């Protein structure tokens, strides 16, 4: 874990890849689904919690993501990377969450009322809280790219696939967002 609370977990050398697990699951192996759930549930929970702020909504969205993944498993193209597909499902569910609740994603988390959200394992430092508040100041499209790139560890190619934009557009959004964050945090001088 780094200074901002980012957790980047990848399967170990002796663990099957996401794509191998997906192929096994599509072939009827129930344990493969459980392995995918165990690998991604916590990461998706953090992804949703950073956006929606409410623990119960984040848990519900994780469950909905895996339900959609389960229902759409026959549509998965073997040989395609799973992670961008999974995060596309998650991003679509998050947008739907805000549309159906008539809430805007940029609504700030009320720290005084609810306390600090638990977005990563471990203790939240003042620096991590400052970074999270700075992220809230970014436009939605830039915040989404930073969240997917920095916190979730997706490549720009994967981010482009998740958001339905070009790789260049993903890089431009990230460049602008990281520059703005440096300015907000006083590190751009």
Q: Given this model, what pLDDT does residue 77 score? A: 87
Q: What is the CATH number of the domain that holds 95?
A: 1.20.140.160
Nearest CA to 114 among 56, 169, 63, 162? 56
Residue 70 has pLDDT above 80, yes or no: yes
- The per-residue pLDDT of the chain, averaged, comes to 82
String of b and e for 138-151 (b: at least 16 CB within 10 Å)? beeebbbbbbbbbb
Q: Given this model, what pLDDT does residue 99 score? A: 80
Q: Would residue 7 count as lying in a domain?
A: no
pLDDT band at 187 (very low <50, low <70, confident <90, very high): confident
State if pTM tops 0.85: no
Print the domain residue range for 80. 18-184
Q: Would residue 10 count as lying in a domain?
A: no
Q: Would residue 2 count as lying in a domain?
A: no
Residue 117 has pLDDT above 70, yes or no: no
Residue 6 has pLDDT above 60, yes or no: no
Q: Would residue 6 count as lying in a domain?
A: no
CA atoms within 13 A on the CB side of 176: 15
Q: Would residue 11 count as lying in a domain?
A: no
pLDDT per residue as tens digits for the range 29-51:
999 999 999 999 999 999 998 88
Residue 81 has pLDDT above 90, yes or no: yes
Between CA 21 and CA 30 the distance in angstroms is 10
């Amino acid at each position: 874990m780094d200074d901002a609370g980012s957790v980047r977990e990848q399967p170990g050398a002796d663990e099957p890849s996401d794509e191998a697990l997906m192929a096994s699951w599509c072939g009827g192996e129930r344990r493969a689904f459980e392995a995918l759930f165990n690998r991604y549930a916590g990461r998706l929970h953090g992804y949703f919690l950073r956006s929606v702020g409410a623990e119960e909504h984040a848990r519900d969205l994780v469950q909905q993501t895996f339900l959609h993944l389960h229902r759409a498993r026959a549509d998965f193209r073997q040989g395609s990377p799973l992670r961008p597909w999974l995060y596309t499902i998650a991003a679509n569910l998050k947008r739907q969450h805000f549309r159906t609740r008539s809430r805007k994603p940029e609504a700030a988390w009320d720290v005084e009322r609810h306390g600090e959200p638990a977005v990563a394992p471990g203790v939240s430092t003042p620096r991590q809280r400052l970074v999270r508040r700075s992220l809230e100041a970014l436009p939605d499209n830039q915040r989404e790219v930073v969240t997917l790139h920095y916190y979730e560890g997706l490549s720009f190619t994967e981010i482009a696939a998740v958001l339905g934009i070009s790789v260049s557009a993903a890089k431009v959004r990230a460049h602008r967002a990281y520059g703005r964050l440096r300015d907000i945090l006083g590190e751009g001088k």
